[in-house]
Structure 1
């Protein structure tokens, strides 16, 4: 069923729906609208009685006078002049009644808090093309009444959100093309970042190799399987320690320093003595 049809009756929203000629069909329809409206609480059912046969101006839907947010929520049932008794007989169990030449907003099930049949019944509706102020006010006030969500409402809203389609084929194609363009840009950015990281790693390797060549540090030997590789900072620290510059390098004692003095220096210091 399309979105612009009532889920309970299958009638189109925002348009005139004449009542069937069969009395039993009228009663069945009114019972479904008034008692089974909990299947679709979003829509509002209004019954309008034609006091006399109308012309082209009277055959225009009254929903066109409603606010934009309500025009596609109203099911307008039209009762012919001779159907007043039949429709009121069908609505007897609901506790509402259609005035001759008037209209009534059906309560639905369960009846919303604050609903009163007299307040949502319009005595006169002129079907001459003029704005039905009383009916517009009644429908607007009824739409503002608080009504609880029926069972399964969350599932219905989820399905509506996931399956809602408002785009035609050309718009869907344009949307998919935009997505493909965005994915291509993201992939290109990731590839560029990967190349930059690779170049940085290669530059670091070259710099480390040049440093080892300049300092005479031998290359790194392969580690046994399962042994964690030392960090570059640790490697540099060990190199400085071997060269005697690191913080962990052992300083020679005074005796070792004296032994390192060459013999020529000792002789010079002796000859220059007193």
Structure 2
């Protein structure tokens, strides 16, 4: 299942896979194996014809093709250096046009770490679908916009011929409450930066979530130590009528240690 009539082999360090075939275009130059490297899954989503495949091909292979076959599902891998001497492995899923949601859409979302939501700057109706995609991602992930990496991309900037088109796209994009970039797969404007920024946001959110879990575990451990040191008999004899110990370390009403915020969300972080 090729994107075009010619061979789809890319430069060294990239790999492309589809549902019907695997094409490896070269070995990664790094001495690190993929198992040792951090790996992140990026899902490129949007309606048909907005340039999702063109953006992906430009980023992975550095090429632009005027005509591409309709995508069913294509998977690519590429090493990316993001604020570190150690490269990360980015797995990019180029999806078919998503005018309607289905079980496959939910599967992509559950497995994805970050989402490139693409619309055409020449067709602003494609942006309204991106808004629905954003909301659907949040429902499936059961989180807020702070808890998942998403980047809104206005593609085909090279074909915008008037400032009114540009301003209309920017105005509507701002209402989506997502980080926003304008790209051109043809000229390569902002393409690498869009993917890199999205992966940076994935890493930041991962770090925030890890920090939140570690802080919660540390707080829970400290509270548990104080309770156990006082002795179980003393603990149960000191429950107040409100279900709290006299030292205030545990509350039956809260369902756990009072020091633990079990629903903490990471703060919003956008890197552009």
Superposition TM-score, scaled by structure 2 size:
0.28
| Larger strand fraction of residues | 2
| Larger helix fraction of residues | 1
Larger Cα Rg: Structure 1 or Structure 2? 1
